[in-house]
Amino acid sequence: MIRYFSDKQLFILETQSSTYAFALNDHDAPMSVYYGAKLFSPEDLELIGADKMDGYRFREYTKMFKYRHEYSTYERGVYDEEALKIRYSDGVSDVDLVYDCHEIKGNTLLLTLKDEVYSLKVVLTYEVFENFDMIKRYATIINNGNKLSIEKCLSATFYLPNGNYISNTFAGNWAKEFTKVTTEITEGKVVYETRRGVTSGPHFVPFVSITDKQNPATENRGSVYFASLAYSGNFKTVLEKNHAGTVKIAMGINDFDTVFSLDKNESFTTPDVYIGYVDGGYNKMSEKLYDLQFDYLCPRGNIDKPFPIIYNSWYPYLFDVNEEKLLALIPKIKEIGAELFVIDDGWFTNRVDDRRALGDWQACKKRFPNGLGIISDKAHEAGLLFGLWVEPEMINEDSELYALHPDWVLKYETRPMSKMRTQMVLDITKPEVYEFCKNMLDRVITEYKLDYLKWDMNRYIAETGKDSDFFVKYTQALWGLYKHIRYTYPTLLIENCAHGGARSDYGMMPYSDRINRSDNSDPVDVLKLHEGFSTYILPRYAGGAGNVATSPNGQNGRVTPLKFRAHLGMTGSMSVGFDLLTAKKEDIEGIKEYIKYYKTIRPMLHSSYLYRLSSVLDNGVAVWQYTARDRSKAVVFIFAHGVRWGEGLDNIKLVGLKPHARYEINGKTYSGDTLMKYGHNIRKPGGDYYSEIIEVTEIK
Ligand code: DGJ
């Protein structure tokens, strides 16, 4: 709900658990008043002290640092992190924003601010999602005067009550993505950002949570602030505490190497940022973030259906794919019960390794004499869905495309081209390159009758210097291509791959149905990766070429039992990635049985909340409770690795059940209340690679 109290010029935005308030000061500038636990009588709030003063006129030196500008700008005497920095045509680099007007439309507030000297307006949009305990914010900069430059334009700044806080986000490197990073917000700034043109995975992710230092939240208890930026390019999260104790969070497009200009009557709108507050720990926060994705962000139509079980050619065969092998696989895939056959990298002309051919998107005549159509048809005849891997943004120097269009590549004529994985980036901001990619996507999707497309991206962006707003234009072009295929082929399932989850951001959620969480398929490492990934992304999105992959594992040689891999595969989007043509009979029979069982719990798993009850990092036992959104069922996964000193768990307290309902576990019944307060006895997980699944079903 949004309320405006005109006597105090006070705006109150309320969600189920939070109150967010700001008011106009004596100079009509909007200043933050409060953000936190929901207040009974928010109308009591008012601006006090420095924030209320007409700071702009008097500039009282000792109080200026206490200002909490709702959308803070770079201006005379304000030195904290700003959201907006503009250089006007006369060289003035100072924006003084005051109230112009506002409009409340249902759950949306549009607050228009103006610079009284220059013809600039800024519209701040606040959309309140009461049930999700979140507010979506973004800003639109409208220039009605001479051409100006935007040197920085974040989506929002917001403030926490003065205090001591710690923040959590995720980072890592390739194959070690989504590792928790915990930092104290001391005086100064903590900056999480990427400058690589992609958002996440092997780098910091555009998501952060913040909790009180003295009374920190746990998974199931305590208050947490959080913010998630819907952007798929360079971003910046700044957590700042100044010497007056003001704690500010700023988030948006990274200003690194980025300046845009706006001509007269042009405008720019920032990406959305979702900011939230919950009291109930990190599991409650994840629950709200899942609700946002289930009910708002993810592709309508697809998100309501369970994701099909994939068989992917990558781990078993890498680039060594051909017609004979793939046709021979079809009955095997059918036999084990997988539902979607994906040909990964290696299917196109000359693509025998990762050094050549990107850009030449024609089926290799030598290895596929009849094209890919025959494989698609045979897969469909067998009742399987059919999918294909592409990497549209990329090109190899050793390709026909490069010979034809060397000027399509991002490069500097005076420098050697930067190559990562021997490949270069196509400049999709050029209309002709954009068209080429769009036509290629249309052609492969229609010609091969694709049900699924895996869009990969295996390097970072560099050599962007020709345009100062290149990074932003690149992301817009990328979204344009994704949008095109999403809306032209609404039932096509799209995997947003980008090697190790490098585009795991809310900007991609409307276009993708699955994310490659990591290239690391070792189940022990996945126990850690999944905790981080699933904190802010739906667990059903957790993909990869094969999360039931080969053993010994391709990355680290670890040998693990099929049961452990299969159980873990059920916790995300299952994909089988071991060689079915040479597999032992017992492995074929084994995976068949696991898939058969998985299908019985999948509808619930794919529309559930994941509560992390125990972390493998703490005691060697991971316990993950998947819980139906209506709380009528839960499936608890237990995985052990590295248990020492006889430690481990023998009792687990479930969460999120209906206290008064009765649930059945292995033939015995318990009340939800007992299971949550006393817990459920489990057999002490013994030995490495122990795994178990417990079904908890409401008796109606
Ligand atoms: C990186 C991806 O993450 C893998 O799953 C696989 O598709 C390879 N690229 C193919 O080159």
Residue of 313, 345, 515 best suited for mutating to test ligand 1, as the one with most atoms within 8 Å of CB: 345
Question: 133 CB contacts (<8 Å, ≥6 apart)?
Answer: 15, 16, 17, 18, 276, 277, 278, 288
What pLDDT score does 280 carry? 97
Name the pTM for this structure. Answer: 0.97
Ligand 1 atom 11: residue of nearest CA? 345
Q: How many whole angstroms from 437 Cα to the centroid of ligand 1?
A: 19
Region 82-99 average pLDDT: 95
pLDDT tier at 62, thresholds 50, 70, 90: low
Q: Is the pLDDT of residue 147 over 80?
A: yes
Q: What is the 3-state secondary structure (H, E, C) of 601-646?
A: HHHHHCCEEEEEEECHHHHCEEEEEEEECCCCEEEEEEEECCCCCC
For residue 260, the one-letter residue type is F
Q: Is the pLDDT of residue 335 over 60?
A: yes
Of the CA atoms within 13 Å of residue 257, those in its CB half-sphere come to: 18
- Measured from the Cα of 344, ligand 1's closest atom is 7
Q: How many whole angstroms from 192 Cα to the centroid of ligand 1?
A: 26
User: Is beta strand 247-253 parallel, antiparallel or unpaired with respect to 176-185?
Assistant: unpaired
Distance, in Å, from the CA atom of 211 to the CA atom of 134, rounded to the nearest integer, reads 16
Share of the chain above pLDDT 90, in %: 90
Ligand 1 atom 9: residue of nearest CA? 499
Q: Is the pLDDT of residue 498 over 70?
A: yes
pLDDT tens for each residue of 175-229: 999 999 999 999 999 999 999 999 887 789 999 999 999 999 999 999 999 999 9
- Measured from the Cα of 389, ligand 1's closest atom is 7
Question: 266 CB contacts (<8 Å, ≥6 apart)?
Answer: 143
Q: How many whole angstroms from 345 Cα to the centroid of ligand 1?
A: 7
Number of H helices, E strands in the chain: 14, 39
Give the chain's mean pLDDT. Answer: 95
Residue of 499, 520, 550 best suited for mutating to test ligand 1, as the one with most atoms within 8 Å of CB: 499
Q: How many whole angstroms from 686 Cα to the centroid of ligand 1?
A: 35
Radius of gyration from C-alpha coordinates of the chain: 26
Residue of 313, 318, 319, 344 best suited for mutating to test ligand 1, as the one with most atoms within 8 Å of CB: 344
Q: Is the pLDDT of residue 505 over 90?
A: yes
Q: How many whole angstroms from 502 Cα to the centroid of ligand 1?
A: 12
pLDDT tier at 63, thresholds 50, 70, 90: low
Measuring from each residue's beta carbon to the nearest atom of ligand 1, which residues come in under 6 Å? 314, 344-345, 389, 456, 458, 497, 499, 516, 519, 545
Three-class secondary structure of residue 269 per DSSP: strand
What pLDDT score does 79 carry? 84
pLDDT tens for each residue of 417-472: 999 999 999 999 999 999 999 999 999 999 999 999 999 999 999 999 889 999 99
Q: Which of 293, 205, 230, 226 is closest to 517 using CA atoms?
A: 205
Q: Is the pLDDT of residue 591 over 90?
A: yes
Region 575-597 average pLDDT: 97
Could you give all domains of the chain from N- to C-terminal order, each with its CATH number? 69-297 (2.70.98.60), 310-606 (3.20.20.70), 612-698 (2.60.40.1180)
More confident residue, 488 or 202: 488
Ligand 1 atom 1: residue of nearest CA? 499
For residue 186, the one-letter residue type is T
Region 74-95 average pLDDT: 91
Ligand 1 atom 8: residue of nearest CA? 345
Of the CA atoms within 13 Å of residue 531, those in its CB half-sphere come to: 25
Share of the chain above pLDDT 70, in %: 97
